[in-house]
Chains A and B, each alone.
Chain A
Amino acid sequence: MEHYNMNLNLKVWRQKNSKTNGEFKMYRVENISSEMSFLEMFDVLNEQLIAAGDEPIAFDHDCREGICGMCSMYINGKPHGPWQANTTCQLHMRAFKDGDTIVVEPWRANAFPVIKDLVVDRSAFDRIIQAGGYVSVNTGNAVDGNAIPINKDNADAAFAAAMCIGCGACVAACKNSSAMLFLSAKVSHLALLPQGEPERHSRVLNMVAQMDKEGFGACTNTGACEATCPKEISISNIARLNQEYLSASLVAEK
């Protein structure tokens, strides 16, 4: 692929903390390589700001290889930017051209309050996981992972659901700020495997209850989540979650 350099105008959301109101600020970066990642471009900008004695822009990131789900940025109106099935850290500057103006905002949802600039508090997701997104195992020797036979189709579907990195892009894209794609991935991942069976009913009931408590909106199956998800989590997981929830509500002992 041809390499080129570009000059860009950035319109970035700046917000001191969760208590204050934020606003957009314009910045200019020059000589950005088309081979940089989007976050590296932000590093260049922050070096510039620090050198000028300004406050650098706070943004979340960790692995920078598309697996941790930290790099939440809403770029030109789309979570994780213009590419399909991609995280912000894996978005390369060749997605843009010289002279572009790029607008960068934090995820917007009441359940994801802004902490600072582009960093939002996604601990709502952690609390949903804590409500039931696990399997309990007794201590002692590690069990043989291959001792329980698992149907291949179920294993594949469970693995596909387990791809979810909890980035929150589904909530950010959804007009209802619904967390159903995320939750459906977590519930499906365990509901499809025999290891998930003992806690199957309490898991889905408790996780849904926690999700509702966190103030996410309700799903109306618009499909924006699936289209934006960097891990291409299928929306049919949401229907599976609905089925799990309905049947658990009907037959759970408690």
Chain B
Amino acid sequence: MSFTGVFLILFLIVHVGINACIFANDGGQMFNTAAHFMGANIVPRILEVGLFAGFILHIIQGYMLTVKNKSARKVSYAIDYGNKGSKWYSRSMALLGTLVLLFLILHLSNFWIPNRSSQGFSLGGEIDLYEKMKETFSGHDIITILTILVYVLGCAALGYHLAHGFQSAFKTLGVHNKRYQVMLTNIGYGFAVIVSLAFAMMPISFHFGLLN
């Protein structure tokens, strides 16, 4: 859980970094250059297989852990405030993770699947991903509005998942120095807020024509 979690955090840093290139507002030049590097280069394409494995492992571990922990108490309490002192999102990692997964399915079908199917088995031939983003988020029809809503909610779920997950991963890996724990918890909150806001701003910016 913690190893795959930290791995996915590292992925997010790369992913949010590349996508934030759209905010350069240069008609997608910078972004498409970065996206082209990732899509048309054999190294990131091989790493991508590892990324999928990381996601799948994390998701399977997550559900197995949830089932194991749920079944450790067959008779439940009539009244339950026992969780007082814990945060709701700490207790809802499986739910938040599932929301992220649902978002991820839509997200892959929006961009990754069209791009890779245009490429086939070659390294070149990608679609213009910047234009594709614009097209996906600019419209005012109901499908576009719903898509944007799912993206924003997905980012919120990811933010809360990370707000717990970031610090939890380091505790699971054994960091118990008090000062580092406090520091990592705060970095985790900052990371969660920055990543989720940065991602959420992407569809919003396209929709309101803030990017050309």
B residues 132-190 in Cβ contact with A at 8 Å: 164, 167-168, 170-176, 178, 181
Residues in B neighbouring A31, C-beta threshold 8 A: none
Give the segment of A40-48, A60-68, A73-81, A127-135 that binds chain B. Answer: A73-81
- Cβ of A226 < 8 Å from any Cβ of B? yes
Instruction: Classify the secondary structure of B's interface with A.
Output: loop
Count of chain B residues near A, Cβ 8 A: 35
- Contacts of A240 on B, CB cut-off 8 Å? 174, 176
Which listed residue, A74, A237, A242, touches B77 by the CB 8 Å rule? A74
Determine whether the beta carbon of B171 is less than 8 Å from that of A221: yes
A222→B87 contact, CB < 8 A: yes
B81→A78 contact, CB < 8 A: yes
Taking the nearest CB of chain B, how far is it from the CB of A166, in angstroms?
18
- B interface footprint on A140-175 (CB within 8 Å = 1, 0 otherwise): 000000000000000000000000000000001111
Task: Find residues 39-85 in chain B having any chain A CB closer than 8 Å to their own CB.
Answer: 65, 68-69, 71-85
A239 within 8 A of B: yes
Decide: A218 and B68 in contact? CB cutoff 8 A: yes
> Is there an interface contact between A228 and B84, defined as CB atoms closer than 8 Å?
yes
Chain B residues closer than 8 Å to A224, beta-carbon distance: 82-86, 91
In the complex the two chains form, is B77's CB within 8 Å of A108's CB?
Answer: yes
Complexed CA–CA distance, A158 and B75 (Å):
35
State which residues 179-213 of A face B: CB under 8 Å. Answer: none
Q: Report if A77-B172 is in contact (Cβ < 8 Å); known contacts: A109-B72, A178-B69, A217-B68.
A: no
Q: Which residues of A contact B73 (CB under 8 A)?
A: 108-110, 177, 217
* Contact A172:B90 (CB < 8 A) given known A108-B76, A177-B69: no
- Residues of chain A lying within 8 A (CB to CB) of residue B96: none
CA distance A109 to B84 in the complex (A): 18
Q: Is B202 an interface residue when CB atoms closer than 8 A count as contact?
A: no
- What residue in chain B is nearest A242 (Cβ atoms)? B174
CB <8 Å contact, B85 and A175:
no
Once the chains are docked, how many angstroms separate the CA of A243 from the CA of B78?
36
Closest chain A residue to B64 by CB distance? A218
Cβ of A58 < 8 Å from any Cβ of B?
no
A111 within 8 A of B: yes
A223 touches B174 (CB 8 A): no
With a cutoff of 8 Å between Cβ atoms, the chain B residues found around residue A228 in the complex are: 82, 84-85
Question: Does B93 have its Cβ within 8 Å of any Cβ on chain A?
Answer: yes
Contact B91 A78 (CB under 8 A): no
Interchain nearest-CB distance for B74 vs A (Å): 6
Evaluate contact between A24 and B78: CB separation under 8 angstroms: yes
Q: What residues of B have a CB within 8 angstroms of the CB of A247 in the complex? A: 174
Within 8 A of B (CB), among A78-112: 78-79, 103, 105, 108-111
For residue A74, give the distance in angstroms from its CB to the closest CB of chain B: 7
Closest to A170 in B: B82
Q: A177-B72, A218-B69, A236-B178 are in contact. Are A172 and B82 (CB under 8 A)?
A: yes
B91 touches A175 (CB 8 A): yes
Residues from chain A with a CB closer than 8 A to the CB of B171 are: 221, 235-236, 238-239, 242
* Contact flag A226-B79 (CB < 8 Å), given A217-B69, A240-B176: no
Instruction: Check B82 against A79 for contact (C-beta < 8 Å).
Output: yes
Residue numbers in B under 8 Å from A245 (CB-CB): 174
Question: Hey, which chain A residues are within 8 Å of B91, CB to CB?
Answer: 175, 222, 224
Contacts of B181 in A (CB 8 A): 236, 239
Complex contact B82–A77 (CB within 8 A): yes
A246, B174: Cβ atoms closer than 8 Å: yes
Output the nearest chain B residue to A237 by Cβ-Cβ distance. Answer: B176
A236, B171: Cα distance in complex, Å:
8
**Chain A residues whose CB sits within 8 angstroms of the CB of B174 once the complex forms:** 239-240, 242-247
B172 cross-chain contacts in A, Cβ below 8 A: 219, 221, 239, 242
Question: What are 8 A-to-B residue pairs whose CB atoms are below 8 Å?
Answer: A24-B78, A78-B81, A78-B84, A103-B78, A177-B69, A220-B93, A224-B83, A239-B175
> Which A residues have a C-beta under 8 Å from some C-beta of B?
11, 24, 74, 76-79, 103, 105, 108-111, 172-178, 215-224, 226-228, 235-240, 242-247
* B contact residues vs A (CB 8 Å cutoff): 65, 68-69, 71-87, 90-91, 93, 164, 167-168, 170-176, 178, 181
